[in-house]
């Protein structure tokens, strides 16, 4: 072999060694590494100069201070009106109050209509063109006058009856027309058996036909009645938002308008070997199933339904809760985070953190026995475990800022919350659950921005085959805030709850659910968790005023930096929009998008 060939062979060996060393330290991952730098703060628009001369939409609330459901109803109505930047005044039912005719709506948060001292004023207000909504079934413990029952569109009030499921006859609750929610876990409430007047307008009924929601014209105005009781969960928000939106002509309220989708435990170590249920149906090992079947299908869903995934990384599935914490040996787990993570980012998604392992960050007393978890003994151990996870992911994604944390099994103690913030200071978003049973000991959240600039952005629905209560819950929240927030796990085929479902069943279930939501609410913007914060900022910060005339609807808006969305409900037909877009998204409901400080809707027939 001549000297030239020896030199070439030596160079080849050296280059090959460099290649393997570069691969070992994940060098190729760092080439063209994805960066997600913080977006600059957006300056809000200055307040409208005439804001002080135009009043906010104003509501009068009557409630029973001695009744817990009535106090719940009052609180929820006040909270929603505050979120919608509307004004209100609240009065105990025994207190007489004036109701000016320009009041946007009267909210009766009690069914004890015979005890409402201002009931005669309410009737007069509605008869002259106002709107009143009843948030609870009529309660005849004090006799209800014939005049009041007639105004409500009720001929007779009978006994209590438990109402199960919901069937919507109209689009009173946006996106629910002709839909029935009655399979699996369902909505239920205590109602009254009632006989409605012939001219009452039935909007919704229980699965067995109990009237649940109706309207009735009274003089020049309207009453709307919810024939149920206030619940201690959040499933009545859709009804409340719809009832408030029917108060007066040309109603309006802001919405966030986003679609979120989380994948918990992904990327994460893939279970080794064959899972018999998967292998018998697909002929694939667990790792092959993830790579060849589940993940390609999820990517197809992202394209088909306009989804941006937020994936939550797990480092190990061990049960260690005492330090020191170490990375798993070998490359399999790291390769999963690298390969699947980059594909998720390439598809427009985001990577967040789920945990060093799947042990919820909580001491004893958080239902660990039910999940097979080990309680943590100290916050220091929690911090150390999260620090190891952060070291692990930053080694793989050195230029990426991890901003999202989702607690394993949606359980997070106050100590665990603090541990996450201490260990990973870049975390700005905590995402757990929006609603559920107290007995589950889960971390339940409202959508909000905290004083330190961090966010609570919970998830609402989950799984591949959402049941009736989940499907109703997402419709309810979209009517309230304009938010869809769902999550799945890649390993749900393994779950005991999925024992009666095949992979084909689960694919069909999620496809049907996403198709349904995309059909009902195509106007939601797909975002990752971090991207959603700009939309929430505008929703939290914006203020607006409305000037209504028979010819037009004039909207002035400020304190927002990007595009904001409003739902406008009107019986008028839109001719054209100025300085905004207006899209018909339901029966008599327009989605208005605007970026500037003023916009106008011109109604057909204006000036004729």
- Tell me: the pLDDT tens digits for 315-346? 999 999 999 999 999 898 899 999 999 999 99
> Residue 179 maps to which CATH number?
3.40.50.880
Of residues 86 and 21, the one with the higher pLDDT is 86
User: Do 145 and 114 touch, CB atoms closer than 8 A?
Assistant: yes
Query: Do 123 and 183 share a domain, yes or no?
Result: yes
Residue 384 lies in a domain: yes
Query: Do 70 and 149 share a domain, yes or no?
Result: yes
Q: Which long-range contacts (CB under 8 A, 24 or more apart) does 508-513 make?
A: 509/463, 509/464, 509/465, 509/466, 510/301, 510/463, 510/464, 510/465, 511/301, 513/465, 513/466, 513/471
Beta strand pairing status for 552-558 and 543-548? antiparallel
Q: In the structure, what pLDDT confidence band is assigned to residue 19 with cuts at 50, 70 and 90? A: very low
Query: Do 389 and 514 share a domain, yes or no?
Result: yes
- Tell me: the pLDDT tens digits for 235-269? 899 999 999 999 999 999 999 999 999 999 999 99
Residue 39 lies in a domain: no
Cα–Cα distance for residue pair 14/11, rounded to 1 Å: 5
- DSSP element (H, E) containing 298: helix 295-305
* Global pTM exceeds 0.75: yes
Cα–Cα distance for residue pair 287/291, rounded to 1 Å: 6
Q: In the structure, what pLDDT confidence band is assigned to residue 274 with cuts at 50, 70 and 90? A: confident
Query: Do 400 and 495 share a domain, yes or no?
Result: yes
Query: Do 387 and 440 share a domain, yes or no?
Result: yes
- Tell me: the pLDDT tens digits for 391-400? 999 999 999 9
Q: Which domain holds residue 496?
A: 259-534
Query: Do 226 and 271 share a domain, yes or no?
Result: no
Dig out the tokens for 332 from the structure.
Answer: 């399999």
> Residue 589 maps to which CATH number?
2.60.40
Cβ atoms < 10 Å from Cβ of 570: 17
Query: Do 581 and 504 share a domain, yes or no?
Result: no
Residue 34 lies in a domain: no
End-to-end CA distance of the chain, in Å? 99
Q: Worst-scoring range by mean pLDDT, 55-59, 367-371, 576-580? A: 367-371
Residue 25 lies in a domain: no
Residue 21 lies in a domain: no
pLDDT, averaged across the chain: 92
Q: In the structure, what pLDDT confidence band is assigned to residue 230 with cuts at 50, 70 and 90? A: confident
Query: Do 155 and 218 share a domain, yes or no?
Result: yes
Q: What does the pLDDT read at residue 115?
A: 97
Cα–Cα distance for residue pair 156/448, rounded to 1 Å: 43
Residue 119 lies in a domain: yes
Query: Do 215 and 276 share a domain, yes or no?
Result: no
Query: Do 174 and 278 share a domain, yes or no?
Result: no
- Domain end position, chosen among 534, 563, 594: 534
Query: Do 186 and 269 share a domain, yes or no?
Result: no
User: Do 97 and 106 touch, CB atoms closer than 8 A?
Assistant: no
Cα–Cα distance for residue pair 422/381, rounded to 1 Å: 12
Beta strand pairing status for 574-578 and 598-603? antiparallel
Q: Assign 503 to helix, strand or coil.
A: helix
Q: Assign 62 to helix, strand or coil.
A: strand
Q: In the structure, what pLDDT confidence band is assigned to residue 44 with cuts at 50, 70 and 90? A: confident
- Domain end position, chosen among 229, 248, 267: 248
User: Do 580 and 592 touch, CB atoms closer than 8 A?
Assistant: yes
Q: What does the pLDDT read at residue 398?
A: 97
Q: Worst-scoring range by mean pLDDT, 26-35, 139-148, 160-169, 298-307? A: 26-35
- Total number of domains constituting the chain: 3
**74: Cβ contacts below 8 Å, ≥ 6 apart:** 61, 63, 90, 109
Cα–Cα distance for residue pair 350/455, rounded to 1 Å: 16
- Domain end position, chosen among 483, 508, 534: 534
Query: Do 351 and 449 share a domain, yes or no?
Result: yes
């Amino acid at each position: 072999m001549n000297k030239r060939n020896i030199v070439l062979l030596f160079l080849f060996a050296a280059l090959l060694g460099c290649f393997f060393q570069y691969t070992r330290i994940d060098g190729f991952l760092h080439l063209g590494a994805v960066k997600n730098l913080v977006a600059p703060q957006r300056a809000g628009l200055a307040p409208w100069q005439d804001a002080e001369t135009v009043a906010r939409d104003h509501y009068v609330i009557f409630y029973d201070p001695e009744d817990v459901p009535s106090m719940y109803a009052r609180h929820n109505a006040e909270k929603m009106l505050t979120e919608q930047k509307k004004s209100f005044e609240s009065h105990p039912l025994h207190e007489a109050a004036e109701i000016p005719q320009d009041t946007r709506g009267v909210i009766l948060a009690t069914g004890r209509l015979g005890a409402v001292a201002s009931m005669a004023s309410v009737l007069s207000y509605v008869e002259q063109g106002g709107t009143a909504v009843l948030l609870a079934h009529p309660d005849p413990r004090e006799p209800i006058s014939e005049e009041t029952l007639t105004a409500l569109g009720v001929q007779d009030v009978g006994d209590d009856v438990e109402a199960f499921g919901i069937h919507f006859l109209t689009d009173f609750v946006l996106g629910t027309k002709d839909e029935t929610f009655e399979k699996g876990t369902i909505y239920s409430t205590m109602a009254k058996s009632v006989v409605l007047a012939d001219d009452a307008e039935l909007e919704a009924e229980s699965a067995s036909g109990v009237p649940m929601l109706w309207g009735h014209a009274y003089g020049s105005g309207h009453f709307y009645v919810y024939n149920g009781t206030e619940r201690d969960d959040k499933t009545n928000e859709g009804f409340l938002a719809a009832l408030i939106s029917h108060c007066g002509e040309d109603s309006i309220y802001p919405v966030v308008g986003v679609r979120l989708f989380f994948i918990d435990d992904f990327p994460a170590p893939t279970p080794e070997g064959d899972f018999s249920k998967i292998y018998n149906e697909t002929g694939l090992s667990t790792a092959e199933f993830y790579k060849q079947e589940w993940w390609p299908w999820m990517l197809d869903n992202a394209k088909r339904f306009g989804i941006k995934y937020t994936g939550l990384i797990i480092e190990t599935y061990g049960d260690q809760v005492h330090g020191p914490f170490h990375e798993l040996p070998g490359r399999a787990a790291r390769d999963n985070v690298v390969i699947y993570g980059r594909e998720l980012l390439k598809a427009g998604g985001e990577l967040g953190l789920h945990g060093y392992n799947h042990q919820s960050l909580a001491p004893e007393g958080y239902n660990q026995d039910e999940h097979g978890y080990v309680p943590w003994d100290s916050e220091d151990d929690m911090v150390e475990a999260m620090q190891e996870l952060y070291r692990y992911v930053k080694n793989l994604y050195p230029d990426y800022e991890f901003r999202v944390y989702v607690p394993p099994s949606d359980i997070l103690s106050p100590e665990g919350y603090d541990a996450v913030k201490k260990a990973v200071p870049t975390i700005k978003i905590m995402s757990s659950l929006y609603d559920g049973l107290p007995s589950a000991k889960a971390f339940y959240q409202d959508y909000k921005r905290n004083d330190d600039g961090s966010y609570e952005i919970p998830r609402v629905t989950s799984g591949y085959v959402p049941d009736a209560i989940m499907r109703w819950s997402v419709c309810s929240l979209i009517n309230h805030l304009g938010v869809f927030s769902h999550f799945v796990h890649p390993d749900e085929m393994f779950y005991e709850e999925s024992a009666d479902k095949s992979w084909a069943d689960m694919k069909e279930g999620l496809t049907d659910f996403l198709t349904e939501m995309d059909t009902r609410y195509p106007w939601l913007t797909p975002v990752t968790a971090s991207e959603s914060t700009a939309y929430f900022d505008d929703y939290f910060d914006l203020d607006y005023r409305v000037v209504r005339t028979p010819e037009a609807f004039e909207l002035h808006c400020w304190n927002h930096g990007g595009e904001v969305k409003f739902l406008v409900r009107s019986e008028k037909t839109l001719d054209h929009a100025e300085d905004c877009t207006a899209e018909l998204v339901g029966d008599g409901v327009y989605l208005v998008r605007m970026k500037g400080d003023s916009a106008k809707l011109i109604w057909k027939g204006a000036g004729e």
